[in-house]
Amino acid sequence: MLKRIGWGLLVLLMSVITLGYVFRMPITLHFIAPTLSSSGVELHCLDWSLTTKLDLHVQRACVIYQGQQLELANITVNTQYITIDRANLILSNSDTSTESSTAKKLVLALPQSRPLLHINRLEITQAQLQKPLTLSINESVINEFFVAGDVKADVKITKTKVSGHIELNDTLLTKMKATTANSLAGLNFTSQHSFTFDGIELKLKSKLDAGFSSVIDSCPMTVKSNGNVSSYYHLNTKLINVDAQQLTSTFNAKNECLQGLNGVITNPAQQQFIADQIPLSWQLTLPNKITLQGTQLTANELTLQGKSHVQMRIQQLAVDINSALETLSAQVDLLFTSDDITQLKIAANTSNNHVDGNFQLKMATLPDFIAVDLQKVNTQGHFLISNALGEQPKVELSAELALAQLKVDDIRLDNYHATFKAKLQSDQHLTASLSSKLDTVKVGSIKLTQLTNQLTAAGSLSVGELFFDLTSETKLAMLQSDEFKFKNIRISSQGLQSRALQASHHIFIDGIELVASHNMSSTAHPFEVIISDQLVTKLNPLLHQFEPLATLTDGTISGRITGDINLQQADISLQVTGVSGLYTDYLAKQLNTQFTGRYDSGQLNVEPTTFELNELRAGAVVEQLNGYWQVQENVPALLNVSGNVMGGHFLLDEYRLTNQPQQALVKFDNIDASKLITLDEKSGISLTGRVAGQLPVYFTDAGIEVRGGELVNKGTAKLLITDNAAFNAVKDQQQELGPVLGLLEDLDIKKINSSVNLKPDGWMTLGVNLQGYNQQQAQQVNFNYNHEENVFTLLRALRLSDEITQKVEQEYSTKGSKND
């Protein structure tokens, strides 16, 4: 009975086992799947069996965890090994986690003994990979794994730490979709990494050796990076620290890379200059502390070194990588030196869209291809930009510029110093000022000395037409050339710049006051100069440059000039009132004239204009001069000039102030004959009566000539000779002429005919014929006499002997010096 019951139970147990094995798949999925699901693991397929050696053999297992799919095939499990023949891991791009969990220190319950794991082939697939990664994993010692294939590694797991080594090379990069075989043709990449992980902190020490060579647009270049890097990552705080100060990165290019300048710049000299300034070798040095926490990146110092003459250093870098430009905070220093540029320095601090910096540039000379010769250029300054990336930034700029010398064509500047300041408000209102100082400026034969200028501008850059208010103050110690010299020049200017420049200037030159205004546009440049009513004595410093012996003593001048600079046209009106002056021994009193003229393309023309001169003393005293003057094509001329001289009247038909040969006719009428005698009253000779005549005057290259002039008497005249020593000596020496000469001692003259000829050297020949009657001797007299005398000497003697003239000259000289 018991035996039958035992066999019955055995048959029943075998039946249950047989049924359980037959239905093992649904039973396993029914009981195991819910348990895995509670841990977030989805079990989709499972096919297992027992081998003849009672080893567990899994044909296929499919698991999904947080979107990552793992498929295992041909798994053998026994007490010694777990062997997986094939495994496929598909990594998802999406992050299915909805909230982050806090990482904890590793406390792994590792068994003392278990089967060792072997994965013969593991393929990892991801969207960014164009080919799967292929790996094999072997565990020779419990919890120590060795990885081979596309990635080489050894990993050791303890209860509190995971550590190991990983080797990566360029084979890994060839499987990335973003790369191609051509792009990696010149790539050499190897890296070795040692790591430890305790569940919260990951520490990584890496040794990198990478190189890349390529030719891009005919530009051969090589990039190399090698050295050691230490990294630290905290899972809970998301903090990453990197020490890369032992990593050296270099970039090298060939000269062929600069050939691209040929398509942009055609001038070979300019190409060479730019090529000399561009380093072809660069080195990047990273700091010992780079920190990334979340999106916040900080670094204490980065250095980019170009060849031996350029260095850029970035210190105290802090930035949010999601909005880099808006959040960038750093201190940037740039230093550049070369054979052409002595020094270029830029130091700037940027923070919260705010840039504050300084700059300095020094150059001995400018490059030869620039048509400006500059010597010892030195500029430095400060700039401040607020809201730099905003629509309405605020900008402040100040700069100083010093030049030892500047040459452009026939322009030369010496010792130029300038200070520039500009400020742009957030409402787009701009103010700027420029202070300049120059020792000398030469423009051709013109030289300016001690020039200072203060220029200011203010306006708005907002939408609409631009308007700028301008002011300028200019002082100049001297403006001179071979022909003139001006001193103490001061110009006060005000202007408005819109579609055209409108400006007015208050000008003082050696005390002379002018007011000028003009409008300057691209098509026209009209101007106006007003000479206010002022004393002519202010013109003496200018006059003395052209005529040192001339002095203006009295009178006023005023005028107005209007025209267009672009068209080279001007209308001129000038009024001279009561002007008196001296020239050596000549005196002119009370000149009055008012004229209008026109200047057009280098030609000045003035219509015939009347003038009046009260008195002219040039030996003989000329009074009440009046007539006309005009200018035709830059040639001034006097017309119909008349006046009173020697008790009579004279008339000059025309005289042009030119070096060209010309002829003028001077007519005399009713001249007092007594005033023609050159000797004084003590000489004992006197002549009374009136004479008239005309003198054809020729102006030639040799000088002034009179040819065929004549003088005749008007009415009767009388000649008296009493006690003249020279006349008496002739009578005594030539007694035979005594009776004839005695007839001249008391002669009633009925007719005088005299020919006049003057040579350029001043010698005048008079052919005199006297016809008269001596009442005492009742004798008719016909007397011919030739006389030669130097007129220039004669006129000089007359001027020196005129005591009245001397007194007037003295008076006006004193007045003139006071008015000056």
Residues with Cβ within 8 Å of 600's Cβ and at least 6 positions away in sequence, in order, are 568, 569, 570
- pLDDT one-digit tens code per residue, 52-103: 676 778 888 888 877 788 888 888 888 888 898 998 988 776 554 444 568 7
The pLDDT-based confidence of 41 (bands split at 50, 70, 90) is low
Tell me which of 40 and 10 has the higher pLDDT.
40
Both structure tokens of 632: 């035709």
Report the 3 state secondary structure along 556-595.
EEEEEEEEECCCCEEEEEEEEEEEEEEECCEEEEEEEEEE
Cα(652)–Cα(105) distance, integer angstroms: 125
- pLDDT one-digit tens code per residue, 283-311: 999 999 999 988 899 999 999 998 778 99
Residue 178 above 60 pLDDT?
no
Cα dist from 468 to 457, 460, 462, 499, whole Å? 6, 7, 12, 10
Domain ranges of the chain: 23-95+104-157, 661-792
- pLDDT one-digit tens code per residue, 366-397: 888 888 888 899 999 999 988 877 777 889 99
Tell me which of 164 and 677 has the higher pLDDT.
164
How confident is the model at residue 807, as a pLDDT? Answer: 46
Both structure tokens of 645: 């001289």
Cα dist from 114 to 78, 81, 558, whole Å? 10, 8, 120
The pLDDT-based confidence of 177 (bands split at 50, 70, 90) is low
Question: For the chain, percent helix, then strand, then coil, each to nearest 5?
Answer: 15, 60, 25
- For the chain, give the percent of residues with pLDDT over 70: 85
pTM for the full model? 0.68
Residue 134 above 70 pLDDT?
yes
- For the chain, give the percent of residues with pLDDT over 90: 25
For the residues 151-159, what does the mean pLDDT come to?
Answer: 90
Both structure tokens of 53: 């050696």
Residue 359 above 90 pLDDT?
yes
Residue 346 above 90 pLDDT?
yes
- Lowest-confidence segment of 256-270, 416-430, 455-469, 775-789 by average pLDDT: 256-270
- pLDDT one-digit tens code per residue, 413-424: 999 999 999 998
Residue 797 above 60 pLDDT?
no
The pLDDT-based confidence of 820 (bands split at 50, 70, 90) is very low
- pLDDT one-digit tens code per residue, 431-481: 999 999 999 999 888 889 999 999 999 988 876 667 888 899 999 998 888
Question: Which range, 89-93, 184-188, 453-457, 487-491, has the best average confidence (pLDDT)?
Answer: 453-457
**With the CA atoms of 107, 113, 119 and 124 taken in that order, what torsion angle do they form, in degrees rounded to the nearest 10?**
-10
Q: Is 626 helix (H, G, I), strand (E, B) or coil?
A: strand
Both structure tokens of 640: 């119909």
Which residue type is seen at 220?
Answer: P
How confident is the model at residue 344, as a pLDDT? Answer: 92
Tell me which of 433 and 27 has the higher pLDDT.
433
Would you say 361 and 378 are in contact if contact means Cβ atoms under 8 Å apart? yes
How confident is the model at residue 14, as a pLDDT? Answer: 45
Both structure tokens of 519: 């409008």
How confident is the model at residue 805, as a pLDDT? Answer: 45
Residue 685 above 80 pLDDT?
no
Would you say 591 and 552 are in contact if contact means Cβ atoms under 8 Å apart? no
How confident is the model at residue 315, as a pLDDT? Answer: 92
Would you say 263 and 272 are in contact if contact means Cβ atoms under 8 Å apart? no
- pLDDT one-digit tens code per residue, 194-204: 999 998 999 99
Q: Which candidate, 398, 466, 462, 402, places its Cα nearest to that of 432?
A: 398
How confident is the model at residue 619, as a pLDDT? Answer: 66
Cα(425)–Cα(504) distance, integer angstroms: 28
How confident is the model at residue 276, as a pLDDT? Answer: 83
- pLDDT one-digit tens code per residue, 497-544: 877 788 888 888 887 888 888 787 777 788 888 888 888 888 887 777
Cα(281)–Cα(308) distance, integer angstroms: 9
Question: CB 38: neighbour CB atoms within 10 A?
Answer: 8
How confident is the model at residue 36, as a pLDDT? Answer: 54
Nearest-Å Rg of the Cα atoms of the chain is 57
How confident is the model at residue 231, as a pLDDT? Answer: 93
Residue 11 above 80 pLDDT?
no
